[in-house]
Amino acid sequence: MKYILDTHTFIWWNDDPQLLSEKVVALCEDPSNKLFVSLASVWEMQIKLQLKKLKLSASLESIIEQQQANNIELLTLTTQHILNLSTLPMHHKDPFDRLIISQANMDNAILLSADKNFELYDVKVDW
């Protein structure tokens, strides 16, 4: 299966895995699953780091490199992902989350997120 880690899921997987549900840990540890983190999440984390609203256990660059070595792939943003935003209802105003929802929707992926707002969309969410 194809899974996209929400931003907080990616951070917790790296820094505080005990905050993840048992189900999410099992899904992330299953080598048959393909795991992705969106470039929208990388962008969001970089902004929050600069605003001092986020603190990580290591540099963002090293965390990304480490997680790529652990088979978490970067999911690029396409023009179609962005244009697909026009089809999403405005249940959620966060632009980064909306991009991740669009990617999951278009790429037939399941989101790994504790964010209950994601369930308002026509997208699969596991937690």
Could you tell me the residue range of the domain that residue 80 belongs to? 2-126
CATH at 112:
3.40.50.1010
Q: How many domains does the chain have?
A: 1
9-24 confidence digits (pLDDT tens): 999 999 999 999 999 9
61-74 confidence digits (pLDDT tens): 999 999 988 889 99
For residue 119, the model assigns a pLDDT of: 87
What percent of the chain clears pLDDT 70, i.e. is strictly above it?
A: 100
Measured in degrees and rounded to the nearest 5, phi and psi for residue 2 equal -105, 125
For residue 71, the model assigns a pLDDT of: 86
111's enclosing H/E stretch is strand 110-112
Average pLDDT over residues 92-112: 94
CA distance 18 to 22: 9
- Does the reported pTM lie above 0.75? yes
Mean predicted lDDT score pLDDT of the chain? 95
Which are the contacts of 53, defined by CB distance < 8 A and separation ≥ 6?
none
pLDDT over 90 (residue 91): no
